[in-house]
Structure 1
């Protein structure tokens, strides 16, 4: 297949693209390269033909000849989404819906959207499957909910949208994100000797390794159409739901001489949900996730140690998305809506 991966230069893209290429697919990437230079040492970089373009500037010509679009691009987390909610809506919602429209009009058969289990929001302690109602509590989650809502009606005999609601990601990538809970707590442990939690540690989180997320995208791209047409899937494993404090305890188990602590301003977190991921494994036999959180912590621990990672490095803008974007804005590289100023000129 000829596959366009948006956000190919991001955290998941650096794992997904090589996986698709190893399976024999031709991959074209589309990315604004907002995080160029934020590279974790020792990890391979993506190599494919790329279109360097802001998602808001995509044209139909960029999509012609593609068999599938795997849409990862967007502002990646709640703090970044809260920086300017209108920019979050412009990129994650309006530009994503427009991308789907352009893909449909260009004759692309499959459109796989990177949605999120955060759609379920403040949901309590029950296990939620794909039929559960949405209760988003952040602009990021709202943008994902609204995109699903507006893209789903586009489904037709010629256009098959699929929505992958991934659990909270973790794991190693050349575009490592230090702001994700497993990556973050492991980084705290390795670089400070403490696992410091920002919340009270009681909320539930479904967690999934980025290799298993990438496998979900590949499995949907390759699956018979009738299995994925218009469907939504929770991505992860039902057994991989954890309270945040349980993740901290696993970090302390893996990383030597670590103490679990709470930040002085630790408070309850409104985001509390755990999900049932049985549907994707039942529907797509090729989707066989292999990672557990403990195994992911071991992977991260070994990589952090091999890189001699320090506290200053880990909490620098290189690995913290919000800090990096603020630096770009302060330096005049992007404006308040995250448009590249040189490209605009």
Structure 2
């Protein structure tokens, strides 16, 4: 039993690879290292340096008895996708088409797809479920929804077994060797500001929430990896899964709560600057994780301090 992890040199993907390996499941990694790191992949894990849009690279990664794919590779920056729509669609839609074509050619019939809660756009309710309307507001969110459609339609035409996992903000580190290096994510932005002696800031402090700042899901990357593993094992066992699952906290955390935890854990005292709201930021978006808890061993196993501490320790280890 060997699974291909696309994007397996990235922040989330590298944690998924380790979760599989801890379970005794062999992996192959396909990654073009546009945002991932070769050092994040264990030396004894087969690695193909290539893009999803390169059919030869995908064929190479799938050759040799791969039984399923965890598909995490893609262009993941929602804000940047607005100014780079064609790049986003090429990487996320065309790349998924190429992957599905190659899977069919190699007889690989299982996929766990890393989708996004960006497919919901601005929901009508604070708590979204898998039945909430999908109204993505960026090329990134649209590309993820199209990816789900591609799996749905390929499954109708073939024997593909699949599920898609939707989630919001992924934080923390499962081991100090792996960390989030994205310049667009909250934790790296806050840490970079503190290390540079600057004051982190919050976008908007007058929302209709308990402390006036936006409330979102923040989920630990190790918990996320555990559910990707559970989904793969279920597909391998022939267990029927829902087409989509939310990996959500059910209640969320505010941006100010995150800032307070950062100060508490790092020992660096600061009062975040409050700037104007960003256009389009809803006050609250939180996903329910009930179905994933039932089927995919989904749990929020880490407190906010755990999340910050593990991420900070990984940041410190990289210095």
Shared topology, TM-score over 0.5? Answer: yes
Residues 207, 137 of structure 1: alpha-carbon distance in 2 compared, 3 angstrom cutoff: same
Q: Which residue of 2 aligns with 1:74?
A: 74
Q: Does 2:37 align with 1:46? A: no
Farther-moved stretch of structure 1 (17-26 vs 112-121): 17-26
Contact kept in structure 2, 1:206 and 1:273, CA below 8 Å: yes
Report the aligned-residue RMSD.
Answer: 2.6
CA pair 289-273 structure 1, distance change in 2 beyond 3 A = closer
Contact 1:215/1:289 (CA < 8 Å) preserved in 2?
no
Distance 1:198 1:133 in 2: 26
1:248 — aligned with what?
A: 259
1:311-341: CA deviations, max 9, x gaps?
xxxxxxxxxxxxxxxxxxxxxxxxxxxxxxx
How many residue pairs are counted as aligned between the two chains? 300
Shift in alpha-carbon separation, 1:219–1:244, aligned structure 2, 3 A? same
**Runs of 5+ in structure 1 lacking a partner?**
309-345
Instruction: Output the CA distance in 1 between the equivalents of 2:317 and 2:97.
Output: 42
Give 5+ residue unaligned stretches, structure 2. 206-211
Cα contact 1:4–1:27 (8 A) shared by 2: yes
Match of 1:194 in 2: 199
Which one has the bigger strand percentage? 1
The match for 2:286 among 274, 279, 284 is: 274
**Structure 1 residues 270-279 or 175-184, which shifts more?**
175-184
Query: Which digits, 9 at most, give the CA deviation of each residue in 1:119-146, with x for residues without a partner?
Result: 1111154211111111211111111011
TM-score of the superposed pair, with normalisation by structure 2:
0.84
How far apart in 1 are the matches of 2:185 and 2:258? Answer: 12
In the alignment, the residues of structure 1 paired with residue 254 and residue 197 of structure 2 have an alpha-carbon distance, to the nearest angstrom, of: 22
Asked if the contact 1:81/1:140 (under 8 Å) is kept, the reply is yes
Q: Cα distance 1:227–1:185, how it changes in 2: closer, same or farther (>3 A)? A: farther
- Mapped contact 2:11–2:36 kept (Cα < 8 A): no
Displacement, 1:199? Answer: 4.6
- Which whole-Å CA distance do the structure 2 matches of 1:8 and 1:37 have between them? 9
Q: Equivalent residue of 2:3, what SS?
A: strand
3-state SS of paired residue (1:95): helix
Name the CA shift for 1:70/1:124 in 2 (closer, same or farther; >3 Å).
same
Displacement of 1:266 in angstroms is: 4.6
Asked if the contact 1:38–1:175 (Cα under 8 Å) also holds between the matched residues in 2, the reply is no
CA gap 1:110/1:36 in 2 versus in 1, 3 angstroms: closer
- Going from structure 1 to structure 2, the CA distance change for 1:70 and 1:214 (only over 3 Å counts) comes to same
Shift of residue 192, structure 1, vs aligned partner: 2.8
- Describe the shift of the 1:193–1:110 C-alpha distance in structure 2 as closer, same or farther (beyond 3 A): same
| SS state at 1:123 partner | coil
TM-superposed CA distance for 1:152, in Å, is 0.9
C-alpha deviation, 1:174, in angstroms: 4.4
Which residue is 1:209 aligned to? 220
Asked whether the equivalents of residues 199 and 270 of structure 2 are also in contact (C-alpha less than 8 Å), the reply is: yes
Matched residues in 2 for 1:34 and 1:304: separation? 20
The structure 2 residue matched to 1:61, chosen from 59, 62, 71, is: 59
- 1:195 and 1:252 in contact (8 A); partners too: no
Shift of 1:305: 4.3
What SS does the aligned partner of 2:111 have? strand
Per the TM alignment, residue 268 of structure 1 is displaced from its structure 2 partner at its CA by 4.3
Q: Give the Cα separation in 1 of the matches to 2:194 and 2:277.
A: 17
CA contact (8 A) 2:179 2:311 kept: no
The verdict on how the C-alpha distance between 1:35 and 1:267 changes in structure 2, with shifts beyond 3 A counting, is closer
CA contact 2:5–2:27 (8 Å) conserved in 1? yes
Change (3 A) 1:4 1:76: same
> Equivalents in 2 of 1:36, 1:290: separation in Å?
26
Give matches, 1:122-271, under 5 Å: 122-155=122-155, 158-172=159-173, 173-174=178-179, 176-192=181-197, 194-200=199-205, 202-223=213-234, 224-228=237-241, 231-239=243-251, 241-256=252-267, 257-263=269-275, 266-270=277-281
